[in-house]
Amino acid sequence: MSVPPLSELTTLRLGGPATRLVTTDNDEALVDAVRAADAEGAPLLLLAGGSNVVVADAGFEGTVVRVQTRDVEGIRMADGRMRLNVAAGENWDVFVAACIADGLAGIEALSGIPGSVGGTPIQNVGAYGQEVADVIVAVRAFDRVSGELHELDTEECLFDYRSSIFKRDPGRWVVLGVSFALEPTGESEPIRYAELAACLGVEIGGRAPVGDVREAVLALRRGKGMVLDPTDPDTVSAGSFFTNPILRARDFDTFAQRAADRAGADARPPGWPVEPRAVKTSAAWLIERAGFHRGYGNPDGIAISSKHTLALTNRGAGTTSELVALAREIAAGVQEAFGVTLVPEPVFVGHSWAASSLNLDSR
Ligand SMILES: Cc1cc2nc3c(=O)[nH]c(=O)nc-3n(C[C@H](O)[C@H](O)[C@H](O)COP(=O)(O)OP(=O)(O)OC[C@H]3O[C@@H](n4cnc5c(N)ncnc54)[C@H](O)[C@@H]3O)c2cc1C
């Protein structure tokens, strides 16, 4: 059977062929496929929803193992919460919708994110003030180094902003299942995100029915092209292309001064304290202020989304090399204007971003 180009399996619709493609629908088949590729010494790519990868035009010389495992099990915990043990290949948003229908709280603000359940711990998926790390209690995984199965608790997962042990040590862990603990209250967790609170008509820290939060989040996300929609070319992306930079507090002050010198005293960049002496700022703010507007790029190839500065989109005839060229142009523009280094969020497959000094961590 011929292997389809990986562009057919990624939300960016980019990427050349793989040498081999194996689709797995249960844990045993998944682990066997990984063991077989490792025994052969073949490079391995685990691929689920394909919504956070940038695959090279030349494709991937190795075995692609598609994760399409299915299973959801719910158990009432002693403290009244529901524990959901979910197979890695389950669709994330289908799972979120089912939890909302059952009045379970803790992931309502993560509605509308594409991809699989097993993909969520990899970069500690987050949006609108929630992160999966807040509700994950365990990740069941196969360790390709020891050849054994493990259940990692939340501490062992080393969750951080868009990061985890799975992202820090790429390729080592095969996530088989994720366990979440959700509150069966029907009321959301406290709303932490100002735009969402305004949309719901509640104060920051207030609550709302989980179904209302889901609808509000989906509406906000659709307005930004952040819900996959075959009729909307702005959704042909990998979501946010760059993470929000985290700077040492004194570097943030230097950068804020540079921004004020450039555009006037009222041009103070947004900054959120995230840990002692560190500040997270907005990648979208930096990109816009560096002169890259929505729609910038090639209207038939790769361009910034017309709805969201952080998303790079494939308008139909784009290539991965064009995407990387635009991303580098943007990162270089931000570096030159503000001295801040942008770091891509998606995983590069068959090529690497690190080839240039642009990838220096700004912390
Ligand atoms: C329109 C759009 C909006 C988005 N919005 C958000 C958002 O709001 N917040 C956010 O955090 N992300 C967002 N994303 C990014 C993406 O949806 C998430 O990161 C998602 O969790 C990726 O899951 P996936 O199954 O598609 O992973 P894939 O793209 O298939 O894989 C991503 C990486 O995870 C690895 N991987 C996948 N499955 C496994 C497994 N079972 N075991 C081990 N490794 C595995 C892959 O090898 C690869 O390195 C968005 C993407 C798009 C296209």
Distances (CA, A) of 347 to 57, 123, 166: 15, 10, 12
Structure tokens at 294: 């929505």
State the distance between the two ends of the chain, measured CA to CA, in whole angstroms: 47
Distance in angstroms (rounded) separating the CA atoms of residues 350 and 348? 7
Q: Is the CB of 344 under 6 A from ligand 1?
A: no
Ligand 1 centroid to Cα of residue 65, in Å, is 15
- Give Cβ neighbours of residue 2 (< 8 Å, ≥ 6 apart): none
- Which residues on adjacent β-strands are paired with residue 85? 73, 179
Structure tokens at 183: 């509150």
Q: Is 209 helix (H, G, I), strand (E, B) or coil?
A: strand
Structure tokens at 57: 């035009």
Told to judge if 164 belongs to the known catalytic residues of this protein, a careful annotator would answer no
Distance in angstroms (rounded) separating the CA atoms of residues 194 and 158? 27
Query: What pLDDT digit, counting tens, does each position of 88-115 carry?
Result: 999 999 999 999 999 999 999 999 999 9
Structure tokens at 268: 């103070």
Distance in angstroms (rounded) separating the CA atoms of residues 182 and 103? 9
Ligand 1 centroid to Cα of residue 68, in Å, is 14
- Give Cβ neighbours of residue 267 (< 8 Å, ≥ 6 apart): 259, 260, 289
Q: Is the CB of 123 under 6 A from ligand 1?
A: yes
Structure tokens at 71: 């299973």
Q: Reply yes or no on whether the pLDDT at 76 is more than 90.
A: yes
Query: What pLDDT digit, counting tens, does each position of 338-353 carry?
Result: 999 999 999 999 999 9
The lowest-confidence range among 152-161, 272-281, 318-327 is 272-281
Q: Reply yes or no on whether the pLDDT at 363 is more than 50.
A: no
Closest residue by Cα to atom 3, ligand 1, is 239
Ligand 1 centroid to Cα of residue 117, in Å, is 9
Amino acid (1-letter code) at residue 93? D
Q: Reply yes or no on whether the pLDDT at 152 is more than 70.
A: yes
Q: Are 111 and 104 within 8 A, CB to CB?
A: no
Closest residue by Cα to atom 34, ligand 1, is 119
Backbone angles phi, psi at 103, to 5 degrees: 75, 25
Question: How are beta strands 60-67 and 44-47 bridged, if at all?
Answer: parallel
pLDDT of residue 205: 97
Question: How are beta strands 53-55 and 278-281 bridged, if at all?
Answer: unpaired
- Which of 11, 12, 26, 51 maximizes ligand 1 atoms within 8 Å of its Cβ, making it the mutation to test the pocket? 51
Q: Region 42-71: what's the mean pLDDT?
A: 97
Backbone angles phi, psi at 206, to 5 degrees: -80, 175
Q: Reply yes or no on whether the pLDDT at 359 is more than 60.
A: no
pLDDT of residue 178: 98
Told to judge if 357 belongs to the known catalytic residues of this protein, a careful annotator would answer no
Q: Reply yes or no on whether the pLDDT at 357 is more than 60.
A: no
Query: Any idea which residue has 């921004």 for tokens?
Result: 259
R_g of the chain computed on alpha carbons: 21
- Which of 11, 113, 123, 164 maximizes ligand 1 atoms within 8 Å of its Cβ, making it the mutation to test the pocket? 113
In percent, how much of the chain has pLDDT > 90?
Answer: 89
Question: Which one of 7, 179, 237, 240 is the catalytic residue?
Answer: 240
Q: Is the CB of 120 under 6 A from ligand 1?
A: yes
Structure tokens at 166: 């799975």
Ligand 1 centroid to Cα of residue 129, in Å, is 18
Query: What pLDDT digit, counting tens, does each position of 243-286 carry?
Result: 999 999 998 988 888 888 877 656 788 999 888 789 999 999 99
Q: Are 256 and 265 within 8 A, CB to CB?
A: no
Q: Reply yes or no on whether the pLDDT at 4 is more than 90.
A: no
Ligand 1 centroid to Cα of residue 228, in Å, is 13
- Report yes or no on whether pTM surpasses 0.75: yes
Q: Region 192-202: what's the mean pLDDT?
A: 96
Query: What pLDDT digit, counting tens, does each position of 225-244 carry?
Result: 999 999 999 999 999 999 99
Q: Are 342 and 286 within 8 A, CB to CB?
A: yes
Told to judge if 8 belongs to the known catalytic residues of this protein, a careful annotator would answer no
Ligand 1 centroid to Cα of residue 208, in Å, is 28
Distance in angstroms (rounded) separating the CA atoms of residues 10 and 45? 13
Question: Which one of 81, 162, 289, 294 is the catalytic residue?
Answer: 162
pLDDT band at 358 (very low <50, low <70, confident <90, very high): very low
CB atoms within 10 A of CB 241: 27
Distance in angstroms (rounded) separating the CA atoms of residues 35 and 48? 18
Distance in angstroms (rounded) separating the CA atoms of residues 271 and 247? 9
Distances (CA, A) of 44 to 18, 21, 38, 149: 10, 10, 8, 18
pLDDT band at 83 (very low <50, low <70, confident <90, very high): very high
